[in-house]
Amino acid sequence: MAIWKDSTPSPKANEPAHVDPPRPPATAEPAPILASAQARPADSGARESVIASDLTVEGKIEGSGHVRIAGRFKGDIKVQGNLIVDKGAKVTAGAIAASKVALAGELEGNISGAQHVELLNSGAITGDVKAGSLTVAPGSRIRGHVECGWGKEAAPAARPEGGSTA
């Protein structure tokens, strides 16, 4: 005798039972696509959001997690975690702010306030970069103004109008 009413019909003798395929367990640290993009805070517990290679998204990304873009994205990005742009991906942004940025794809826009920016051999930046440090791999391309290594308290020395320092 059942206490509740079972709303699922029992399978017929000649009919196979429906079984959902197993799902992989959710993890806080997904497997990285880029070997150099492993520089994530180990204790942050932040999850990674992915824009897949067959997607085009336009809008604004804000949050505290990590973001991986494998497709196309147009809009501003402001995350407290890391931003990874995979090979073949294209990002068009007015402004990007992230803890660390790893670029194997194309970026048209400005990066400001990142602790570290890594431009991999297939990566390209068209825009300004302001970061604590910058790693540029052979074969990568960059067009824009770059400021690296300047702390918040230090500023570059002003140059005279003629452009020379003498």
Could you tell me if residue 97 is inside a domain? yes
- pLDDT tens-digit map of 73-86: 999 999 999 999 99
Could you tell me if residue 162 is inside a domain? no
**Number of separate domains in the chain:** 1
Could you tell me if residue 88 is inside a domain? yes
- pLDDT tens-digit map of 14-72: 555 555 555 544 444 433 444 444 444 444 566 889 999 999 999 999 999 999 999 99
Could you tell me if residue 127 is inside a domain? yes
Residues 42-50: contacts with CB within 8 Å, 24+ apart? Answer: 44/81, 46/80, 46/81, 48/81
Could you tell me if residue 11 is inside a domain? no
Whole-prediction pTM: 0.66
Print the domain residue range for 103: 47-148
- pLDDT tens-digit map of 106-159: 999 999 989 999 999 999 999 999 999 999 999 999 999 999 987 654 444 444
* Strands (E) located in the chain: 48-51, 56-63, 66-69, 72-79, 82-85, 90-97, 100-103, 106-119, 124-126, 129-136, 141-143, 146-148
For residue 140, give the nearest of 149, 130, 155, 129 by alpha carbon.
129
- In whole angstroms, what is the distance from residue 117 CA to residue 119 CA? 7
Could you tell me if residue 34 is inside a domain? no
Could you tell me if residue 41 is inside a domain? no
In this prediction, residue 92 carries a pLDDT of 96
- pLDDT tens-digit map of 84-115: 999 999 999 989 999 999 999 999 999 998 99
Could you tell me if residue 122 is inside a domain? yes
